[in-house]
Amino acid sequence: MDIVTIFQLIFQWSVPALIGGIALVLLFVAGYLIYKKGFHGEKAFPKAQVISAFLLCCWFILVLGLTSLSRGANFTGSFNIDFFSGYISAWNHWSVSELQLILFNMLMFAPLGFLLPLLWKKAENLWVVLAVSFALTAFLEVFQFLTGTGIFELDDLFHNLIGSLFGYFCGMAIFAAIRERAFRLAPVAKALSIPCVIGIALGAVFYAYDCQPYGNMSILPAVKQDMSTIQIVTEWEPSEQNATAAVYKNQYAEDKVYMQSVKAGLAELENLTFSQLARREDENVGYTGTDANGTDFQIIFFFR
């Protein structure tokens, strides 16, 4: 899933999330009116709590839609308990889309860490935020596993906790500045520590890859395989004579002018309309569009 697909899903589920949030707030207001009128309740809720509750409801519906409801039951019984396997896979394939998905999984839970202290005073304690974040993440992962709409992954638990922690630090830095009417360096430093560490790590990874003249081996598995019961036997003996072999190179790899010319030719020949947005799938680039009958299509430029 690349960044374009992610934003398409966000726009697709933003309206249902907004409607669901409004419905839950109206339900809460109805219950509150019954509490006030019928039971003569005196408890009042600050506006900040009401707004944060509404935003959290919208956020949860949006996250549920992105992670589960937008997909079919194509992952029945799938789970991955190998920690950091997603990082290894992204490194082996040198996949921009996999890296984007890792970062998005972190940012996806930042609103929870930011808004929860506004809703619940006890959530100003870091461990409370982490506990709630872990519980919600575990719920989503188990829900995906049971419904087959996703894979139960330990990496996702870690990413979501990091994102929630980042949102919490950002929120507490802002809240401290508002309450004390003064700028404090310590909360800001905590908020910036996570993106700084991630930025340094990404810089080191890109530098390490750039130092490799032949890149990575995409065929390497992200998880070590148990080969203890496997026996490999070969009867082939390599020749001691020197030999030459041809190496194929795609001369049009990353050639944007060539891609545009191909798109223009196809559009004129088949009466196609292309979207201006490009989608990356590993090393490849894809474009979507519609034909004269309104049927969706996709063209992919392979760079291998």
**pLDDT of res. 112:** 96
- In angstroms, the CA 178 to CA 183 distance is 9
- In angstroms, the CA 276 to CA 189 distance is 39
**Block mean pLDDT (10 aa), the chain, length 304:** 78 92 91 84 84 95 90 77 90 84 94 95 94 96 90 93 95 88 84 93 92 84 85 85 79 81 91 80 77 87 72
Q: Are 157 and 139 in contact, with CB atoms under 8 Å apart?
A: no
**pLDDT of res. 1:** 66
CB proximity list for 283: less than 8 A, separation 6 or greater: 94, 95, 303, 304
- In angstroms, the CA 55 to CA 186 distance is 28
Beta bridge partners, 80, equal: 153
**pLDDT of res. 140:** 94
257 vs 28, 33, 272, CA distance in Å? 56, 63, 19
Q: What is the pTM of this model?
A: 0.78
**pLDDT of res. 33:** 87
**pLDDT of res. 283:** 66
Nearest-10 Cα torsion for 170, 176, 178, 179: 150
